[in-house]
Amino acid sequence: MSDFATRLLSWFDEFGRKDLPWQRDAIAYRVWVSEIMLQQTQVQTVIPYFSRFVGRFPDIAVLADAKQDDVLSHWSGLGYYARARNLHKAAKAICAEHGGEFPTTFEEVLELPGIGRSTAGAILSLAYGQRHAILDGNVKRVLARHEAIPGWPGKAGVAGELWAAAERNTPQLRVAEYTQAIMDIGATLCTRSRPSCDRCPVRMDCSARRSDSIADFPGRKPKVNKPLRTTTMILASIDGRVYLERRPEAGIWGGLWSLPELGERSLSEWCFDELGSAAAETRPWDVVRHSFSHYDLDIQPILVRIVSQAGKVADTDARTWHGLNDAPPGGMAAPVKKLINQLKKSENVAHH
């Protein structure tokens, strides 16, 4: 076993995290759900979502049988919703192709939707003790600093060097503990800013620390100015209900329920086309900015009070009049939820 792994493991025995909800019963299903949730999301944020999710979908078969709306509503607020859709698709694939049992070979796990090389390795090492290297964001930071590997890990050449380091350091024994240990070190000690080098078990031969250049590793992503997009969302309201549409599967917020977007039409055209009714009153609200990883979106909300019940839309799988006090029909993106809560407050004020 490498000296690096030995030191990480003895640190883990004393200080590592051993009581996270998915560690208490580390079966493949629970580990898989946690690893998908932990992609791009902090442990503290994930814990309550994980507990609710596995409470509602305790095993692969239950998840595979669930409606997508139900899966997305248990993901609402976690963001990156393609993760939830892929989890659901993968559960169906596991039931169809693997008799409902999570697969045990790297190749089979890698074939599942939403699972890449690092996630596959993490699941197999944490759940089955198989030896696979992993390279999530935390691990990249630890290895880039320890071995002073320059450059942005998003570049193929840099990623290749980091993978080689990850492979070199992964031991043959106690792989599950090692995998958890290196993730824990990145999350708790070797943090992006203000790392706790004095408590790190591998500080003595950390190249970045020796050359006093910790802040230079890992290399930064080349700066790109994020484009700004704009859209107008309609809060069409009547009798304590708001009109919602399901978004297409592809694209942002795929499969989530959302406020309709105005597009090219005028507001009165939209009201007649979609709802068969005129607007009694329209009122623009303040613009809401929502940031995605690749762009910012400015949403101009417009409150539209609809004249007649006659124009009410029949509920279908793709459109509904949602009672403001009812449970959401499925998953909703954070800014949409926020606008609906704002409407709820203003409606309550209006009713008094």
Phi, psi of 257 (to 5 degrees): -85, 140
Q: Cα separation of 158 and 137, whole Å?
A: 13
Per-residue pLDDT of the chain (352 residues; tens, 9 = 90+): 889 999 999 999 999 999 999 999 999 999 999 999 999 899 999 999 999 999 999 999 999 999 999 999 999 999 999 999 999 999 999 999 999 999 999 999 999 999 999 999 999 999 999 999 999 999 999 999 999 999 999 999 999 999 999 999 999 999 999 999 999 999 999 999 999 999 999 999 999 999 999 999 999 999 889 999 999 999 999 989 999 999 999 888 999 999 999 999 999 999 989 988 888 899 999 999 999 989 999 999 999 998 876 556 777 889 999 999 999 999 999 999 999 999 999 877 444 4
Kindly provide the b/e burial profile for residues 123-156, where b requires at least 16 CB atoms within 10 angstroms of the residue's own CB: bbbbbbebbbbbbbbbbbbbbbbbbbbebebeee
Among candidate residues 14, 35, 111, 161, the one labeled active-site is 35
Q: Cα separation of 97 and 309, whole Å?
A: 49
Is residue 257 within 8 A of residue 335, CB to CB? The reply is: no
Q: What pLDDT, on a 0 to 100 scale, did the predictor assign at position 314?
A: 72
Is residue 331 within 8 A of residue 227, CB to CB? The reply is: no
Q: Cα separation of 11 and 200, whole Å?
A: 8
Q: Which residues on adjacent β-strands are paired with residue 296?
A: 228, 291
Is 35 part of the annotated catalytic residue set? yes
Domain boundaries, the chain: 3-216, 228-351
What are the DSSP calls for 287-312, one per residue?
-EEEE-SS-EEEEEEEEEEES-GGGP
Q: What is the three-class DSSP state of 261? A: strand
Kindly provide the b/e burial profile for residues 28-40, where b requires at least 16 CB atoms within 10 angstroms of the residue's own CB: bbbbbbbbbbbbe
* Fold category of 228-351 in CATH: Nucleoside Triphosphate Pyrophosphohydrolase (3.90.79)
Phi, psi of 247 (to 5 degrees): -80, 155
Structure tokens at 247: 């978004």
| Euclidean distance between the first and the last CA atom of the chain, given in angstroms as a whole number | 71
CATH 3.40.50.300 correct for 3-216:
no
pTM beyond 0.85, yes or no:
yes
Q: What pLDDT, on a 0 to 100 scale, did the predictor assign at position 248?
A: 93
Q: Which of 101, 246, 210, 222 is nearest to 153 (CA)?
A: 222
Residue 154's alpha-carbon distances to 108, 136, 151, 228, 251, in angstroms, are 25, 12, 9, 23, 23
Q: Which of 238, 186, 28 is nearest to 122 (CA)?
A: 28
Those residues with Cβ within 8 angstroms of residue 308's Cβ, 6 or more apart along the chain or in another chain: 277, 278
Q: What pLDDT, on a 0 to 100 scale, did the predictor assign at position 310?
A: 56
Q: Cα separation of 192 and 195, whole Å?
A: 7
Q: Cα separation of 176 and 124, whole Å?
A: 9
Residue 71's alpha-carbon distances to 3, 88, 193, 245, in angstroms, are 44, 7, 35, 17
